[in-house]
Structures are given as C-alpha cells and as structure tokens.
Chains A and B, each alone.
Chain A
Amino acid sequence: MARISYRKAVNQALDQEMTRDASVILMGIDVGGGSGGSGDVGSVGGVMGVTKGLYPKYGPNRVIDTPISESAIIGAAAGAAVTGMRPVAELMFVDFIGVCLDQIYNQAAKFRYMFGGKARTPLVIRTMGGAGMRAGAQHSQNLHPILTMIPGLKVVMPSNPYDAKGLLIRAIRDDDPVVFLESKALYDMKGEVPEEAYEIPFGEANFLRDGGDATIVAFGAMVPRAMQAADRLAKDGIRVTVIDPRTTSPLDEEAILDSVDETGRLVVVDESPPRCSLAADVAALVASQAFDALKAPVGMVTCPHTPVPFAPNLEDAYMPSAEKIEAAVRKTL
C-alpha cells in the first residue's frame, strides 16, 4: 500500500471516479488550471493543486474552469445534478459559502423534499476549511455547523488520507447533495491509501483508540490533535477512546452514546466557535440520552466566539490544541 498525501488521496478519488463514470464532472474556479491564458492549461489544478492532472486527462468538457461566480457554479452544478450528471463542484474556500448559500440550502438541499421525493441531486461540493494557515478571517473558517443543520445535506469531514479517498468516492456515488469539507491544514498529511477504489460509508464513526477512562470525540483536523492528547494522557496511565465521526450529517450517535456508556466521561473537540457547534450538538445528545452514564460534566474544547485572527500567536491561541484537549480530559477525571 502506498503512502500518499491527503491532497493526492482526494485527487486519486476524483480520477478513479471520473474514469469509472462519464457523468462525473468537475467544475469550479481554476479546477482545470487556468483556462484562456497564454500558458499551459492544466499545469495547476486548483489553488491547492488538488485537481492537478485531471484537465489534461479528461479535457475541458469534464474539468470545467468557471468564472469567479460561486452562485452560478453551485447552482449550475445543482441543475446538472438534478438532470442526470454527477458534478463535483469546488467551492475554493468554505468561507465563500456566504455568496452562494441560497443555491445550497434553498435549492439543492430541498429539491427532493419540496418535489415530493421525485428529484435526485447527486451533487458533491468539495471545499476546504480550517485555520492555521495565517490566512485571516475570511479564508480560515470551518463552517460545518451551519451546513450540518441543513436537512437534505450530508456533511463529510475527512481527517486523514485513507478516509479522504474512501469518503469522497462514497460522496460521488451518493444520490444526495454532499458537502465534502477538506481540511487545508491536512493536505500534506501522509498515510497508507490503497490504490484501488473503495468506499467508506457515511454515518459510521472511526474508533482510532480504545480506552476506558474517557471518550474524546473530534472532527476533521482536530482528530490528529486529539490523538496527540491521548498520547500525552497515556504517559500518565490515562486511557481514552478517540472517536472520529467522519461525517457530521449523518452523525453516528450510537457510537458516541455507546462509548460514553462505557467511559462515563466525554470531551468534544470542535474547530468552531462554541455556540451551536458540533461540540454543543454532541454534548446535548449525550446530556439528553446518556445523562445517567455521565460521571462528570461534558468537556467542550472549541474556538472562542471570535472571527479567526491573523497574527500567528493569536491564531494559535484561537485553535483547540493537544494541551487544551488534555486539560479538558483531566478535568473530567
């Protein structure tokens, strides 16, 4: 099995699915790699290079460079999806969702329900989120809570290369609209990824570590940090279970509840401001359905209720860290 990056894993999933199914198309800003200029189209492949190599292989009809018109990109992808294609639209940074949210939550996500079950919208919106790149307040957010609360959408947050490939293949084959939220902080992360295509089902959490003293639930880029915290705690003989739900919608509630039933202690790590976050959501789930199992208040490690700051020291302080996660777990003991 090859060790490849998270970026390459996403690229491989797109490539293999495009080969498998001619109705899979990509569209977005520079996904082809800069059409219409005097140089080589396809030499780039998106601002982070994720789609590199696909334009030369599949051509301009299947890897479609678009204007910087997010509403038209997402709306056209939704329209193509509901009429039979399987578009993968790239929304460069999830921060830009503000200019096209209508096409996501009022249109694509609602077609099936509003139309009495007669529409299928197999749309994937690939986008990236998360802080840590010194990119400032409009290029660093992680808006999964906004997306997770929308009925009709599925939301995926891969935390490693293996999951990125398997979950993206699942997303492309899925018949519902899916937001695939890549973590820009993880693009260079390497891991073992099978060459062949495989699917990881939605709504099935990944147990990264088993331990009886406490449960940590972490999402996306917070998963590696939760694992670091678990390593630190292990040095003191504290054994924790680490759960990566992998998708926030659907959410594997059973995995979380079962684990809390065993450990009695829960810390949720969410790179998001605290109000209406996934941390709050999971805490509410456990408080309402497993209250008797709890031996301590639920710990929530989130960002503060602020925009993402620019200065490196402030941004570092903004983020949940392994130290903060470790402290939160100790507080429950």
Chain B
Amino acid sequence: MQLSRDELKRAYTSMYAIRAFEERVEKEFADGTIPGFAHVYLGQEASGVGVCFDLTDEDQIGSTHRGHGHCIAKGCEIEGMFLEIMGRDGGICGGKGGSMHIADMDKGMLGANAIVGGSPPIAVGAALTQKLRGTDRVAVAFSGDGASNQGTTLEAMNMAVILKVPMIFVFENNGYGEFTASEYSVGAPSLSDRAAAFGMPAQCVDGGDFFAVHAAMREALAHVRAGKGPYTLETRCSRFLGHFVGDPQKYRSPEELAQARANDPIQRFRDKVTTAALLDISELDEIEQQIRARVEAAAAAARAAPMPALETLETDVYVTY
C-alpha cells in the first residue's frame, strides 16, 4: 500500500527521533549522566517504527530491555524519556523506572522489560482484555532472538493460540542475545518457523527495511483483527552497537560490524523515498534538524533537572496499603 507524503514524513520523523535519541544516549552515557546500564536500539529503527506505525494509543505493546525505540515508535515523549533514564524528577515514571522500565499507559506502552521473555505473557493478557471487551485493538509483544528461547515466550505463544487473542509476537532478531549469536542459540532455521508449530501464521522480513516491516505488519493486523488469533513477525535487524553502551564486542569480527553499519535503515529509507521522488532530500534534512534540536534541548533540560524528591522513595508501591 502506498503511503502518503505525510505518512512518510511521520515514519521518518519517528525513525530519526530514535536514531538521534540513541546517539545522544551514547554520548550522555559516556559523559556519566546516565546511571546504570543503557541498551540502545541503533540499527533497529525500521523494525519498531514499521511495527508501531499503524497502532493507536489503545493498542498495547510490551517491550524489552532495549526499549527506547519501541517507546518512541509508540509515541512516548522524548523529554520525559531523557528525564527518566537520567533518574530525574518529572521522568516518564518519576525516575523510579529507568531505561529498562519505561512505561506509558496512556500511549499503550506497557513497559520496557528487563527480564528477557518478560513481556509476552503480559501482552497475552492485554490482548485477552481486548478480546473480552470486543474491541478491534491488539497487543504486541516485542522480543529478541534471546527471548525466543525463554519458556515464558513459548508458553505465551501457545496460550495466545488456544485463547485466540488478537496479538502479534514480534521477534526482532538482531543476531545476538547479549554476546551469544542467535546462529548458535536458536536451534531452528528461523524464529518465524517456530510459529507454525504453535499453530499460527508467520512472516520473516528484512528488519532494516521500514516498508517491508510495515507491509508485513499490515497483514498481521488484518489477520488478528479479523479474529483469527495471533500472528508472528520476525524482523531481521542489525545491532550497530554491543549489548550495552560500552560493550567492546570482541565476539563480533570487524567485517561483521562494518556490514551491520552498512545496513542502515535510516539511509535505506532516505534512498528509497528520494529515488522514487516521494520526498525531497531537503524535506528529510529539515526533519533531522528539527529532531536534533529537540533532542539537544531535551537532553540539556534533563541534565539540569533535579533528582526525584526523597519523599517519593516510599510512594506508589501500592494503590492502598
């Protein structure tokens, strides 16, 4: 399906926001302004944006430890995200979640999740809610190749099939679960092949190509919204950096790293839309400039923001206690 110029701009804005945000995270991490760990989504932008492009705030996603891109693709504000991952007052979760626990219920973002395989069962429940309410909304569980081997994920796939819930399992196969290659850790030709064994349709697409991901997601959405049960989508992605910011990646060859960078979803999107004369280079550049300015301002504001008040240490454990 042909996207309109506005839709293409929206897609590029979202993808480039992830790129600029994550590059800034890299820098901030090096500067010591981000406590703890940071797992960035660089190289996978087309996957998250392609999957979330047709979702609304009422559709829900569960994410992973590498969740910043999913948050942005789902509409979370980058200002609140910077505050959150720097552990500041006013963060999207009040500074109590951090990089691996960003959630925004109003945007249908049910949480990044620091437990590998944590999200799929929760997303089954979110999809069950939609089914029982008779809506046409869906739930998406993002997982990586690492989580594809967790029992929780496999339990969730079976449960989703037998309950016939409107859910899409998205496996972003970036080739590595932490330091171990999926080539080694996944005992099947592909992650999407497993879906058939659970009784659901699947596709495996080039996760570096926004248009391929988006087209596959449209088919997935049509399937689940027709009440036919869950669907699996594997997106083959490049992970530009290591598992975490600062990972020297000794387990990957220099050739492989160069190749990963060459498969750049941002550049591929630019090439595609300019070659087809759908958008001008100047339009794309303008989007980039606006985003760069916004990211710069948001990061600077977060650096200057106060820490959460100490009184919040013991709040929001319970609704009532």
Contact = CB atoms under 8 A, between A and B. Distances in A.
Question: Is the pairing of A and B real?
Answer: yes
Contacts of B282: none
A83 B319 contact: no
Nearest to A120: B319
A6 B151 CA distance: 35
A87 B114 CA distance: 24
Interface in A57-76: 61-62, 64, 66-67, 69, 71-76
B155 interface: yes
Residue of A78, A115, A120 most packed against chain B (CB within 10 A): A115
A82 B110 contact: yes
A66 B159 contact: yes
Contact of B125 (A69, A87, A102): A87
B124 A117 contact: no
Contact of B97 (A73, A83, A103, A114): A114
A166 interface: no
A250 interface: yes
Contacts of A103: 118, 121-122, 152
Interface in A157-175: 174-175
B152 A83 contact: no
A113 B129 contact: no
Contacts of A152: 317-318
A72 B92 contact: no
A74 B155 CA distance: 11
B253 interface: no
Nearest to B121: A75
A69 B93 contact: no
B115 A102 contact: yes
B321 A250 contact: yes
A79 interface: yes
B162 interface: yes
B316 interface: yes
Contacts of B318: 112, 152, 154, 176
B317 A119 contact: no
Nearest to A203: B321
B18 interface: no
A82 B122 contact: yes
A72 B124 contact: yes
Interface in B300-321: 315-321
Size class of the contact patch on chain B: 35 or more
B221 to A, nearest CB: 18
A72 B155 contact: yes
Contacts of B320: 174-176
A77 B105 CA distance: 17
B118 A102 contact: yes
Contacts of B91: 116
A72 B96 contact: no
Interface in A165-202: 174-176
Given A103-B152, A107-B115, A72 B316 contact: no
Residue of B105, B123, B125, B321 most packed against chain A (CB within 10 A): B125
Residue of B62, B124, B155, B316 most packed against chain A (CB within 10 A): B155
Contacts of B126: 79-80, 82-83
B159 A113 contact: no
A119 B155 CA distance: 25
Given A25-B132, A75-B152, A174-B319, 9 more contacts: A62-B132, A66-B162, A72-B158, A77-B125, A81-B125, A113-B96, A117-B94, A117-B316, A154-B321
Residue of A62, A64, A116, A152 most packed against chain B (CB within 10 A): A116
18 contacts: A67-B162, A69-B155, A72-B155, A72-B158, A78-B125, A79-B110, A82-B110, A85-B125, A106-B114, A107-B113, A112-B318, A113-B316, A116-B95, A119-B105, A152-B317, A152-B318, A175-B319, A176-B320
B146 interface: no
B319 A176 contact: yes
Contacts of A312: none
Nearest to B58: A83
Interface in A101-136: 102-103, 106-107, 111-120
A76 B121 CA distance: 5
Nearest to B111: A115
A79 B105 contact: no
